[in-house]
A and B are shown apart, each in its own frame.
Chain A
């Protein structure tokens, strides 16, 4: 009984939220079972999402008409816009909401959700930042046009990076959760200000007027493709979030297992 307290006395919930680990050998067995259960984080949902994404790309490439004024480059739209909306309204919103709930309930699972939403959000905002200039170059003739929404996304991307750097810089789990929750909540308050300042900046400095297709005015075939893309990105987001959450749970369990041997 060299190791006191710690993992043996405080039971931990597993990923599915049900099992409790007891002390001693049964605890190790339960942890092992949970690890085995979690060891394939990319479950069926991830495969469904991948298949859906391939299907979506095929539809975009071969079964959607080419837009008259912009040509094939406009097809980036079906990736760019759903990625942007998913990043802002799913990933970032989830990150902020989970953070508020964490500070209220202090449940480590909520911190894990926020962390995973941030990482998946980083991937999605990266897609937005790569596809944006790729779309702008052939259509507007410039890589970076200072478009308000794209510039806002750049700052969103930087904030998520800062959030992940902050997490790397804190050792203690509870402290890391508190700090990152505070940052995520303040970042949620910041986004409207960033958007407003970028918007006001643009109205002061006129840019070349470019028509951007907006969803309601799209021909129905294009609108259908956009909707399919949108559903695909939501599915991808959920699948990646779930996989990442399982990995985070495993990482915590492994860390607990490693530290339970140390008496403090």
Chain B
């Protein structure tokens, strides 16, 4: 169906990755390779298995079959694998009663950073929310909360960045701040997987593009092999049956 492009060094790699829930198979053999500085954009309709893929790579779920490795640690990899990962999910993972600074600093302490406060402040500054650092997250707008949540995920400069619809709820300023932060992580050699069903925002950062349906990739290619103008129609044809 498609050949898997293989960069020389892999930060994220899966072969025949399977994840089963009770009676349902959410991932049915996923092969992917993401090298340092690369970004894989994964498109697909709801229920295609995109979120499950990220949760397996983040160490929240164990693989049921196949192999997966993250930053050189094969999964399930425990603490050493999780230390390398930053995850942005549908949920902010923030405590509403704590301030933005306290939330990010808490994450920095969990990652064992030497100076959690300094790291937290620089992460907040990078996302442009340093001026709201002492506001409780509860009073911040949805967009600002999302930015604090991104600062939380990036505070330990992860080598592996997993993003589940990260642009949801962001205004133009927030989206630009996120894109800058992602570009910076990319140029520092982090490996990114960006999951979304918005084609245009995914194509901007991507070096590889995959289309997911019913637990597997139905299209997987280099970004430069894809024509942004016709991709939308192609995508609809690929997922149309269930979209």
> Do B21 and A174 have beta carbons less than 8 Å apart?
yes
> A137 in the interface, Cβ–Cβ < 8 Å?
no
Kindly state the interface size class of chain B when it binds its partner: 10 to 19
> B78 in the interface, Cβ–Cβ < 8 Å?
no
Residue among A4, A172, A173, A259 making CB contact with B25, cutoff 8 Å:
A4
Complex Cα gap A174–B26 (Å): 15
**How would residues 219 to 262 of chain A score, 1 for a CB under 8 Å from any chain B CB and 0 otherwise?**
00000000000000000000000000000000000001001100
Residue among B20, B23, B26, B215 making CB contact with A256, cutoff 8 Å:
B23
Kindly state the interface size class of chain A when it binds its partner: 10 to 19
> A180 in the interface, Cβ–Cβ < 8 Å?
no
> Do A5 and B24 have beta carbons less than 8 Å apart?
yes
**How would residues 130 to 150 of chain A score, 1 for a CB under 8 Å from any chain B CB and 0 otherwise?**
000000000000000000000
> B165 in the interface, Cβ–Cβ < 8 Å?
no
With a cutoff of 8 Å between Cβ atoms, the chain A residues found around residue B47 in the complex are 264
Complex Cα gap A173–B24 (Å): 12
With a cutoff of 8 Å between Cβ atoms, the chain A residues found around residue B21 in the complex are 174
CB distance from A146 to the nearest CB of B (A): 45
Complex Cα gap A6–B21 (Å): 9
With a cutoff of 8 Å between Cβ atoms, the chain A residues found around residue B20 in the complex are 5, 10
**How would residues 8 to 29 of chain B score, 1 for a CB under 8 Å from any chain A CB and 0 otherwise?**
0000000000001111111010
> Do B25 and A9 have beta carbons less than 8 Å apart?
yes
> Do B24 and A264 have beta carbons less than 8 Å apart?
yes
> B214 in the interface, Cβ–Cβ < 8 Å?
yes
Write the chain B residue with the least CB distance to A9: B25
Complex Cα gap A9–B215 (Å): 13
Interface residues of A, Cβ cutoff 8 Å to B: 4-7, 9-10, 172-174, 256, 259-260, 263-264
Question: What are 26 contact pairs spanning A and B, CB under 8 A?
Answer: A4-B25, A4-B28, A4-B214, A4-B215, A5-B25, A5-B26, A5-B28, A5-B214, A5-B215, A6-B24, A6-B25, A7-B23, A9-B25, A10-B20, A10-B25, A172-B22, A173-B22, A173-B23, A174-B21, A174-B22, A256-B23, A259-B23, A260-B23, A263-B242, A264-B24, A264-B47
